A and B are shown apart, each in its own frame.
Chain A
Amino acid sequence: MKMADVTGGTTTSAFHGLAVEGLHVALGRDNAPIVRGISFSVNSGEILGLVGESGSGKTTLAMALLGYARSGARIVGGSVKVRGEELLGLSWNDQRRLRGDVIAYVPQDPATALNPALRIGDQLSEVLAVHEPETGRSQRVARTRSLLGDVGLPSDASFLRRFPHQTSGGQQQRIVLAMAMLTRPAALILDEPTTGLDVTTQAGVLRTIRTLCKSYQVAAVYITHDLAVVAELAERVLVLYAGRMTELAATREIFEQPAHPYTARLTAAIPDLFQPRLLSAIPGSPPALGHHQPGCVFAPRCQMRVTTCEEEDPIFEAVAAGHYSRCHRSTEVRPELGEMLVQAPPNPAATQALSVRDLTVSYGQVRVLDGVCLDVRSGECVALVGESGSGKTTLANAIVGLVRPDDGHVALDGRAVSPRARERTAAQRRALQYVFQNPYASLNPRHTVARIVASPLYIFQRLSRRDVDRQVAAALERVTLPRGVAEKYPDQLSGGERQRVAIARALVCDPQVLICDEVTSALDVSVQAAIVNELLALQRESAFALLFITHNLALVRSTAQRIAVMRAGQIVDDGRTDDVLTASGVSRYTKQLREDTPSLSKSRAQRGSLREHTTAAAPRYSSGSTRDLSHG
């Protein structure tokens, strides 16, 4: 790949932001490239959104920006300059001095990033102790406390004495943010910092990030897979695929006038709270590391590919002012939003497949479920929306018979079932099936896919070997898995494939009710779209009742006919999707959820205010001084 030598401006030593050029990180002995040819720059006070799904190399890139590579990986070439100072190529000790001081990192999972054995105050002030040793102890404490206030945390002494496990997820994320800001760094790398947070907490943390970056004039890189979040936060967006930059542009432009098919498809795969669209999936999966094939990296999955794409690697070049793309057909790319969905009116003839009445569950003193009532008709998809702690998983567990309720009952097809799964009849157990959230834990790693999918058959029926094989093959086909999968083991499959196997297992016995508990939360956006579409198609085919549990309000717009919103063990709203998501007669909680859920279409409207702060400057590439070892 020949890097575009764009002279849109030169990097001067007075440049206070972050300038990256030709960054190349490789893995292992055979130097399989993870990311290559990464070049961009970020001004002080600007936020660049870096978007990538799994396999894109974004976490590796995040750490490489600090000159850090996890064991097994090595930074092979490139340059990272902060405030004009080059970071790579320094000795470990010199790099260490800059890390945490001039360029700081905010990790994805604050729970594991905080040392469980040390107090929070300790972990915060040690940054100052190391990087600004001239500050006295009382001054360090004072600065720590004032910054805690800035990030919206209590700043009293008792909070400082807490251990990480004594704080909530949202608090932990703010602590980690404060830890990064203490030294007033010039550059900040945020690695998916709001993944795993509730929508409302996420909204708050995002606001804090934006305010801090502006007021401290930090050049920030916000790495995420969530385009909707990026749309609300960043001035410019860089899209990463398979370790390469595929598109770079101002936020508005990248969504309204994408110049790369991947960007367009990704945008179309993201559910939007305000747009009931069919989500479009991207077929296939990202390439594995170290696979050099000729031509464009995205070609195998691209619907716009032509012969050139498979032979010649495109160059990352400008398609408009400040807008770059790596595609042979960049000028022909159009936004591809899926068709709008029209909510079908409910079928009055459909039976009440699942109904829950007055279900109450307590763990000790705590009431986890409080008089919950819910109905799902056959052929209908009902979404159960709730954040963590709302009790939605407990509800699912109670319906399925893993938890004994204190009060209330569950009825299948009008008839009440025993609270414990073991005590239910075989027919009842067969009729109610469950798919878990974690595709990596719901399949026995010691069994083949065929055995996993067949296990309900062995419990409920006595079939000959051949019949079992036939049913398994049929089930795998229904979830669009290729034939060869049956002999594989789970650890040879990707997350999306595993989830399909779990769904196949649930459907193999033809259930009447299917409960899906956050089945796409651990998957990439494009895979999520595929799974959701397949589920809905399967439902249309077999007319089972689908209870779709999720925390993602936007996802629900494209999937369910009815929504039930759950909070603190109670159903606060229950009605048709359109009504709950748009009408004003809903609870305050739901209104708050609607507001806090990031959305592309909403931020389009708001983008005017963001744009005041950005100067849509061209990214600066220095001409010359790079040790660019990236190759095509």
Chain B
Amino acid sequence: MTTVNWDNELLGGQVVERGESLGRRLVRSPRMIVGLTVTGFVVLLAFAGPLVAPHNPNALLGRPYQPPGQFALGTDYLGRDVLSRVLNGGRTVVWMATAAATLGMVSGVGVGLMAGYLRSRLDTWLMRAMEVLQAFPIIILVLLVISMVGTRPWLVVVVVAIGWTPQVARVTRGITLEVVERDFVRIQEVLGAPTRRILVREILPNLASPLLVEFALRVTWSVAVVAALSFIGFGIQPPTADWGLMINENRSAIAIQPWAILAPILCIGLLTVGVTLIAEALALELAGTKRRTVER
């Protein structure tokens, strides 16, 4: 039995009125602003790019590896306009990464919730299965599947999503376990509320913020995986314009026409850094809120 003096006078004066919602606080966070701007810019580029590209990305318009001049960013190894290819090259990465992250979250949260709340034998087996799954690095998993069936975008998305499931499930389960032991959940059990109601109304809202952070992280890593796949040649196939693919294609002339790979590198870099900043901003606010709640 511990009788603890809950009211910590030290932080009593620092309590933030909860009326100031998470959303409003986030908007003031510099990381969030920068992250949203950068990400927004790149996403816009990816989706609106094809509409404003000056040339056909697949058209052979100039000599190979022309430095910037006639064409804003020069040409690539076949003589195609780099700028147009960059503007066309983002869609695949962005949609595949987002889809993979979303699917991964859905399955991971489902598994994690069940394992955390039910805490029965199902839990042990589920988590053991997750451990098995985690024995594969994502890329290896994807390569294995690709070696069987060939490169199919949707398949890659699904496999990557499966690859994220164990990690998301672990995090979800961890938080669920902690929340489930709290008294406000037990009171619902005393009242006899149905399990589904408890999961959805009591537990899920407490998972929302950490899961949002997790989602942002998944998107970053999905972008990295999808781009890497294209880079090593197992993603989108030529002649489609794709950032990862472009980087690989134009590698050999890195010294004479760096823009052919610098441009797609910048795009990928900005995207990943932007999303990570968003994740960081979310996580910091989350940690701040928790501290305020607990140490009042």
Contact = CB atoms under 8 A, between A and B. Distances in A.
Contact of A54 (B7, B189, B193, B294): B7
A198 B1 contact: yes
Interface stretch (B179-187, B225-233, B260-268): B179-187
Contacts of A32: 13
Interface string A189-230: 000100110100000000000000000000000000100000
Contacts of A300: none
B179 to A, nearest CB: 9
Contact of A28 (B14, B15, B208): B14
A491 B183 contact: no
B222 to A, nearest CB: 28
B5 A54 contact: yes
Given A402-B186, A459-B192, A55 B14 contact: no
A459 B182 contact: no
Contacts of A494: 7
Contact of A288 (B13, B186, B188, B189): B13
A400 B184 contact: no
Interface in B260-296: 292-294, 296
B208 to A, nearest CB: 8
A459 B4 CA distance: 33
B4 A196 contact: yes
Nearest to A432: B190
A551 B1 contact: yes
A459 B190 CA distance: 11
B18 interface: yes
A159 B186 CA distance: 39
Interface string A499-533: 00000010000000000001001101000000000
B205 interface: yes
Contacts of A518: 1
B202 interface: yes
A459 B296 CA distance: 31
A401 B190 contact: yes
In this complex, which of A32, A56, A438 has the most chain B Cβ atoms within 10 angstroms of its Cβ? A438
A460 B11 CA distance: 39
Contacts of A68: none
Contacts of B15: 288, 491-492
Contacts of B193: 455, 459
In this complex, which of B10, B186, B294 has the most chain A Cβ atoms within 10 angstroms of its Cβ? B10
A289 interface: yes
A337 interface: no
B6 A444 contact: no
A15 interface: no
Nearest to B3: A521
A455 B292 contact: no
Contacts of A387: 1
A282 to B, nearest CB: 15
A445 B286 CA distance: 13
A288 B5 contact: no
For the complex of A and B, 10 pairs with smallest distance between CB atoms: A289-B13, A54-B7, A388-B1, A442-B183, A446-B205, A436-B183, A196-B2, A444-B184, A429-B192, A441-B183
Interface of B: 1-15, 17-18, 182-184, 186-193, 197, 202, 205-206, 208, 292-294, 296
Given A28-B14, A289-B9, A524-B7, 7 more contacts: A72-B10, A73-B10, A192-B5, A196-B2, A196-B4, A443-B184, A460-B191
15 contacts: A32-B13, A34-B9, A288-B12, A290-B13, A426-B192, A429-B191, A429-B192, A434-B187, A444-B205, A445-B293, A447-B205, A491-B296, A492-B18, A518-B1, A522-B4
Interface of A: 27-28, 32, 34, 54-60, 70, 72-73, 108-109, 192, 195-196, 198, 225, 288-290, 387-388, 400-402, 421-422, 424, 426, 429, 433-434, 436, 438-447, 452, 455-456, 459-460, 488-489, 491-492, 494-495, 505, 518, 521-522, 524, 551
